[in-house]
């Protein structure tokens, strides 16, 4: 049973990631994941779920998690293709011109005039509202399959193969929100007033997005310096990006290109894509560094590893490495060495970028709280109220109820992200202890390559053990962010 299963899982991953990359990079008009899933449908059948449950195969939980997820996604595969194809082709009016739904977000976050920015925001929100009926029906189908499999609710199904207890972890996240509340709201209020000319309590998500771009520093992040900076940093770790023929970086601007940056590990470790739609300024560097962490993780994964260690397992493990690279931007020494920031400017930017970091972690704490309530009750009719209340409490921004399904990733990806944020701070501290304050050096590169080489074999907790920690400790990140 195990060998045919391994072979099919690896082939499916390759075909799905290739299709995902081509569509969301704007090179393919339609998304046709459903055709690929249909080809491998035996992997996601109810019979396969039961077969894995009753088996004694190695890494049984990895295969079970994969099959459970596939069984739910199989119910909505055509709907996903239709929705994403529709969104890629939708247009909204911006300043009298029609632009794509995706590119409108780039224009929105760069628009300094609040009324103009808000108009773009509302027009995008109209599209979200129009498609909510389709999204709601998709979630109903998934919830029905949860019941078919004998689980009480969606939360119970996901918990069955997750290594951390959601309820206990949510308590840690609530504690993080409590411990960082005063610092966050004081600093975020000041930033909103200065950048977006609006008070906390009146500010909407577009106001927050504009303020958190830190546009005053844009000239210090010129687009032409992006790839040279990345290359120089990787060389400090002993990695020559120009010689990595298995790595492909796509920064081309295409009308249908999705604004959300991503890494597509089409064939691990031989064909890894980084896709990003440049929006200008600091954000380009942050998102590229983040996705580069994923890219290097998959590019250095040992080819001989069993497929379950290359393509199955928690996505959060790779997020630890992505955050490690991204949050170099809150390191004054990195800013001075690789971007030429003067001392005072480096300190000011690093402090502000820590606020961006804190906002995002708090936002995801709010998302996780919302998802726990939504997926435990499976109450789609009241989901909007739960979403708006939870996100507003965590960030202070007036999140709209209409966004509750558009801003919802499956299988508690918010928990993966949060675990990764906390674990990254601990890994960073280990690197500093081992290799010094400016930890980026060839020895650190070798240390990271050893971790990367194991692909997704280890859980986040096991990665932390290898780095010298006993468990996830939220206080390390709190301290790093100034609490």
Contact 294, 325 (CB under 8 A): no
Residue-wise pLDDT tens digits, 112-133: 999 999 999 999 999 999 999 9
Is pLDDT at 481 greater than 90 in this prediction? yes
Task: Report pLDDT for 278.
Answer: 82
Burial, 15: exposed, middle or buried (Cβ in 10 Å; 0-12, 13-18, 19+)? middle
Q: To 10 degrees, the CA torsion angle through 361, 362, 367, 369?
A: 120
Distance (Å, whole) CA 152 – CA 162? 16
Distance (Å, whole) CA 27 – CA 255? 9
Cite the beta strand spans of 291-375 per DSSP E.
Answer: none
Cis omega (within 30 of 0) on the bond before 424? no
Query: Band of the pLDDT at 1, cuts 50, 70, 90?
Result: confident
How far apart, in Å, are the Cα atoms of 51 and each of 79, 171, 254?
Answer: 27, 35, 44
Residue-wise pLDDT tens digits, 172-190: 999 999 999 999 999 999 9
Is pLDDT at 260 greater than 90 in this prediction? no
Residue-wise pLDDT tens digits, 343-362: 999 999 999 999 999 999 99
Residue-wise pLDDT tens digits, 404-429: 999 999 999 999 999 999 999 999 99
Is pLDDT at 280 greater than 80 in this prediction? no
Task: Report pLDDT for 186.
Answer: 97
Residue-wise pLDDT tens digits, 205-257: 999 999 999 999 999 999 899 999 999 999 999 999 999 999 999 999 898 88
For residue 146, give the nearest of 375, 317, 433 by alpha carbon.
375
For residue 415, give the nearest of 178, 62, 172 by alpha carbon.
172
Q: Is the dihedral of CA 457, 474, 397, 278 positive or negative?
A: negative
Distance (Å, whole) CA 268 – CA 343? 40
Mean predicted confidence (pLDDT) in 254-281 = 91
Task: Report pLDDT for 114.
Answer: 97
Distance (Å, whole) CA 19 – CA 30? 9
* DSSP 8-state assignment for residue 99: E
Mean predicted confidence (pLDDT) in 294-299 = 98
For all residues of the chain together, what is the average pLDDT?
Answer: 96
Contact 42, 48 (CB under 8 A): yes
CA 217 from centroid of its chain's CA atoms = 24
DSSP reduced 3-state for 473: coil
Query: Band of the pLDDT at 277, cuts 50, 70, 90?
Result: confident
Q: Beta strand pairing status for 271-275 and 247-250?
A: parallel
Mean predicted confidence (pLDDT) in 167-171 = 98
Residue-wise pLDDT tens digits, 50-104: 999 999 998 999 999 999 999 999 999 999 999 999 998 999 999 899 999 999 9
CA 383 from centroid of its chain's CA atoms = 22
For residue 482, give the nearest of 231, 42, 182, 240 by alpha carbon.
182
Domain 189-480, architecture per CATH: Orthogonal Bundle (1.10)
Is pLDDT at 279 greater than 80 in this prediction? no
Distance (Å, whole) CA 298 – CA 272? 7
Mean predicted confidence (pLDDT) in 435-447 = 98
Q: How many CA atoms lie within 13 A of 466 on its CB side?
A: 14
Is pLDDT at 368 greater than 90 in this prediction? yes
* DSSP 8-state assignment for residue 272: E
Distance (Å, whole) CA 268 – CA 14? 8
Query: Band of the pLDDT at 2, cuts 50, 70, 90?
Result: confident
Task: Report pLDDT for 383.
Answer: 97
Task: Report pLDDT for 4.
Answer: 86
Residue spans of the domains in the chain: they are: 2-163, 189-480
């Amino acid at each position: 049973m195990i060998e045919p299963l391994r072979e099919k899982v690896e082939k499916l991953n390759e075909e799905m990631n290739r299709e995902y990359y081509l569509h969301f990079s704007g090179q393919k008009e339609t998304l046709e994941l459903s055709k690929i899933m249909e080809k491998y449908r035996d992997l996601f059948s109810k019979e396969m779920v039961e077969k894995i449950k009753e088996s004694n195969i190695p890494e049984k939980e990895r295969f079970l998690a994969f099959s459970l997820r596939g069984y739910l996604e199989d119910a909505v595969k055509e709907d996903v293709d239709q929705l994403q194809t529709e969104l890629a082709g939708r247009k909204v009016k911006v300043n009298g011109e029609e632009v794509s739904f995706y590119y409108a977000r780039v224009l929105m976050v760069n628009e300094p005039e609040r009324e103009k920015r808000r108009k773009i925001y509302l027009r995008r929100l109209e599209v979200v509202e129009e498609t909510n009926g389709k999204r709601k029906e998709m979630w109903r189908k998934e919830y029905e399959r949860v019941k078919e499999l004998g689980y009480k609710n969606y939360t119970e199904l996901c918990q069955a193969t997750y290594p951390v207890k959601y309820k206990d972890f949510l308590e840690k996240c609530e504690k993080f929100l409590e411990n960082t509340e005063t610092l966050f709201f004081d600093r975020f209020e000041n930033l909103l007033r200065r950048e977006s000319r609006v008070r906390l309590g009146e500010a909407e998500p577009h106001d927050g997005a504009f303020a958190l771009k830190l546009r005053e520093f844009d000239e210090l992040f010129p687009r032409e310096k992006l790839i040279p900076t990345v290359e120089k940093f990787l060389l400090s770790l002993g990695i020559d990006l120009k010689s990595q023929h298995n790595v492909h970086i796509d920064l081309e601007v295409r009308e249908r290109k999705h604004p959300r940056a991503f890494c597509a590990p089409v064939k691990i470790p031989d064909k890894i894509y980084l896709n990003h739609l440049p929006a200008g300024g600091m954000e380009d560097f942050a998102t590229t560094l983040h996705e580069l962490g994923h890219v290097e993780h998959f590019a250095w994964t040992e080819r001989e590893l069993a497929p379950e260690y290359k393509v199955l397992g928690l996505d959060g493990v790779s997020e630890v490495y992505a955050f490690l690279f991204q949050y170099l931007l809150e390191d004054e020494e990195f800013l001075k060495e690789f971007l030429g920031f003067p001392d005072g400017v480096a300190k000011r930017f690093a402090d502000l970028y820590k606020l961006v970091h804190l906002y995002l972690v708090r936002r995801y704490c709010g998302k996780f709280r919302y998802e726990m309530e939504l997926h435990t009750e499976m109450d789609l009719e009241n989901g909007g109220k739960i979403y708006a209340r939870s996100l507003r409490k965590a960030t202070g921004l007036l999140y709209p109820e209409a966004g509750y399904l558009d801003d919802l990733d499956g299988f508690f990806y918010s928990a993966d992200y949060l675990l990764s944020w906390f674990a990254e701070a601990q890994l960073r501290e280990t690197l500093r202890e081992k290799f010094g304050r400016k930890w980026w050096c060839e020895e650190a590169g070798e240390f990271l390559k050893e971790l990367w080489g194991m692909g997704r074999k280890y859980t986040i907790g096991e990665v932390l053990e290898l780095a010298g920690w006993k468990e996830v400790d939220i206080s390390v990140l709190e301290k790093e962010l100034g609490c």
